[in-house]
Amino acid sequence: MSLFRVDSSIRTEGSVSRAVADSIEAGWRQAHRDGVVERRDLAADPVPATAWPTALGAGQTPAEQRTPEQVEALALVAAEADGLAAADAVVIGAPLYNFGVPQFLKTWIDLLILDERFAPGTTPLAGKPVALVVTRGGGYGEGTPRHGWDHATGWLRRILGDVWGGDVTVVEAELTLAAVTPAMSGLVSLAEQSETAAHELATTTGRTFAERVLASV
């Protein structure tokens, strides 16, 4: 049984999304010490930007006429899809960048959709628990000046839940830049509260995922 973890933060040190995902992983191991954790770091090893259009073109080209680059791109699609398809539970770290999805994560998802297992109309994550770790440098809640500016979380919930059928739990931490942004110094306490709550929910979520997977065996 495996937890498939995807990170997309460009930061390896000081990343809140990675730290919260660590808490999910810790909760998973608390309840399932022998559970496997497979990792895919999209920032450290990104999907090539040309892979998606190349694979898309390959799908519209007769097999005998495909270029070596197209064959390679299709192999990458299958390899990336294999990891996610085999998982019993999933955690995806998604920091908000420029009000949207990290490019590494968006490119990866676009590539997956080209695999027949993840194409529109399929539900490859049906019945599987999925944790979406969302971190935002500022505040985007109702009543804030930037309410509605988070264009990532809704889209990710649509893909992971509505399109692929996953049972999505969102774990959020906001104001993550408060400690390093002078103009946000008055929000440090709120930021700490948000992060603490995120870690608590993350640990519980990881533990719940493991218990759920074990119960299904």
Query: Do 92 and 169 form a contact (C-beta atoms < 8 A)?
Result: no
What is the count of structural domains for the chain?
1
pLDDT for the residue numbered 216: 87
What's the CATH number where 194 sits? 3.40.50.360
Q: Name which of 156, 141, 129, 132 is nearest 193 in CA terms.
A: 141
User: What is the per-residue pLDDT for 102?
Assistant: 97
Q: What is the pLDDT of residue 100?
A: 98
- Position 188 pLDDT exceeds 90: yes
Residue 89's domain comprises 2-215
Strand order in the sheet with 89-95: 36-41, 2-7, 89-95, 129-135, 167-173
pLDDT in tens, 3-31: 999 999 999 999 999 999 999 999 999 99
pLDDT at 121 over 80: yes
pLDDT tens digits along 57-104: 999 999 999 999 999 999 999 999 999 999 999 999 999 999 999 999
Residue 217 has pLDDT above 80, yes or no: no
Residue range 107-136: average pLDDT?
Answer: 97
Give the per-residue pLDDT at 40.
98
